[in-house]
């Protein structure tokens, strides 16, 4: 139909405060794409039914956020390799043959923010990832792809870190360490992928893990204040401590590119979000 607007949305619960509608509207304006993008809250126990409803209503695709990324993975007819590895899906495309294709752009969102926006290289770096939940599973593949010198996971529940190390073994070697067993090890890049920041906490790592010129990256973000982890790092003299706002915009850009086949510019969008 001429002039028809392609419809997209982010689904989650809660989702009202999602920045994704604003990000995708910026991308659409910038690239001259005719589309709409809204935030839709889905009841916790009715993900599948609601996704099929959106598909039947003619939506072209949806982003999936907390707590549905795993269910989205289970629902897909087709998965990208990185989504298969991540065990979670954040980008659904409703295809012309009435199938659902799933991808996960969180990991490339993180690595593109680090390497393109922040000029932080992962290659040959000693990388420490804090946490072993769904968020971390989503980023391990893309981190390993960039050939770090080593990749270590620390988590309270050590068995979950060991399971990740096992699952990603085919992509590269992953060490596992308990928070109270770091000894003298130092790292070049420390990525916080725990949910500790939600309660304004920081994982219990010793200051000694900070190597000279260590970079700290929090996968969580705050618009107006530093996150607890960025605060922790800055107060220990880390000059390169970043939150995950850039990751959010980059994962959105990668989703936009899957749907629209065009790569939006991200820098201006990140700056505009940062300024409120």
Give the Cα separation of 69 and 75 in Å (integer). 10
Residue of the chain from 55, 194, 227, 251 that contacts ligand ATR (CB under 6 A): 194
Residue 67 or 169 with smaller CB distance to ligand ATR: 67
Q: Please tell me whether residue 141 binds ligand ATR under the rule CB under 6 A.
A: no
With CB atoms as reference, the residue minimizing the distance to ligand ATR is 133
* Alpha-helical regions (H) of the chain: 20-31, 47-56, 69-75, 81-86, 106-112, 134-145, 158-167, 228-234, 245-260, 267-274
Q: How far is the CB of 201 from ligand ATR (least distance, A)?
A: 4
Looking at residue 56, what DSSP letter applies? Answer: H
Q: Please tell me whether residue 70 binds ligand ATR under the rule CB under 6 A.
A: no
Residue 28 or 128 with smaller CB distance to ligand ATR: 128
Q: Please tell me whether residue 196 binds ligand ATR under the rule CB under 6 A.
A: yes
Q: SS3 for 227?
A: coil
Element (H, E) at 175: strand 174-177
- HSE of 54 in the Cβ direction (CA atoms, 13 Å)? 28
Residue of the chain from 75, 120, 146, 195 that contacts ligand ATR (CB under 6 A): 195
In 3D space, the residue among 106, 146, 118, 92 whose CA is nearest the CA of residue 270 turns out to be 118
Cα separations (Å) of 85 from 50, 137, 139, 230, 255?
25, 8, 10, 28, 17
Q: How far is the CB of 227 from ligand ATR (least distance, A)?
A: 13
Q: How far is the CB of 157 from ligand ATR (least distance, A)?
A: 3
Per CB under 6 A, which of residues 147..186 are in contact with ligand ATR?
155-157, 160
Q: Please tell me whether residue 134 binds ligand ATR under the rule CB under 6 A.
A: yes
In 3D space, the residue among 28, 190, 17 whose CA is nearest the CA of residue 8 turns out to be 28
126 tagged catalytic? no
* Alpha-helical regions (H) of 95-201: 106-112, 134-145, 158-167
Q: How far is the CB of 247 from ligand ATR (least distance, A)?
A: 13
Residue 35 or 103 with smaller CB distance to ligand ATR: 103
Q: Please tell me whether residue 131 binds ligand ATR under the rule CB under 6 A.
A: yes
Give the Cα separation of 11 and 8 in Å (integer). 10
Residue 106 or 250 with smaller CB distance to ligand ATR: 106
Q: Please tell me whether residue 135 binds ligand ATR under the rule CB under 6 A.
A: yes
Q: Please tell me whether residue 133 binds ligand ATR under the rule CB under 6 A.
A: yes
Give the Cα separation of 157 and 58 in Å (integer). 43
Q: How far is the CB of 195 from ligand ATR (least distance, A)?
A: 4
Q: How far is the CB of 198 from ligand ATR (least distance, A)?
A: 7
Catalytic residues: 69
Residues forming contacts to ligand ATR in the complex (CB under 6 A) are 131-136, 155-157, 160, 194-196, 201, 203
């Amino acid at each position: 139909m001429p002039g028809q607007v392609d419809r997209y949305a982010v689904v989650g619960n809660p989702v009202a405060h999602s920045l994704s509608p604003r990000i995708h509207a910026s991308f659409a304006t910038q690239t001259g794409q005719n589309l709409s993008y809204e935030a839709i809250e889905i009841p916790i126990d009715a993900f599948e039914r609601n996704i099929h409803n959106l598909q039947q209503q003619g939506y072209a695709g949806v982003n999936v956020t907390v707590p549905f990324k795993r269910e989205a993975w289970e629902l897909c007819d087709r998965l990208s390799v990185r989504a298969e590895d991540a065990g979670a899906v954040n980008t659904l495309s409703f295809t012309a043959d009435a199938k659902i294709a799933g991808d996960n752009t969180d990991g490339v969102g993180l690595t593109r923010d680090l390497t393109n926006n922040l000029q932080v290289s992962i290659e040959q770096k000693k990388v420490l990832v804090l946490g072993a939940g769904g968020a971390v599973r989503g980023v391990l593949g893309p981190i390993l792809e960039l050939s770090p010198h080593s990749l270590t996971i620390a988590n309270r529940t050590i068995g979950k870190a060991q399971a990740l190390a096992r699952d990603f073994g085919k992509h590269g070697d992953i060490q596992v360490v308990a928070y109270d067993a770091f000894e003298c090890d130092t790292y070049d890049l420390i990525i916080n992928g725990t949910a500790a920041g939600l309660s304004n906490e920081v994982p219990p790592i010793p200051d000694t893990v900070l190597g000279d010129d260590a970079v700290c990256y929090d996968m969580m973000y705050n618009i107006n204040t530093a996150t607890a982890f960025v605060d922790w790092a800055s107060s220990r003299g880390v000059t390169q401590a970043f939150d995950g706002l850039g990751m959010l915009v980059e994962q959105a850009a990668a989703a936009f590119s899957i749907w629209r086949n065009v790569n939006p510019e991200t820098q201006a969008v990140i700056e505009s979000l940062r300024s409120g």
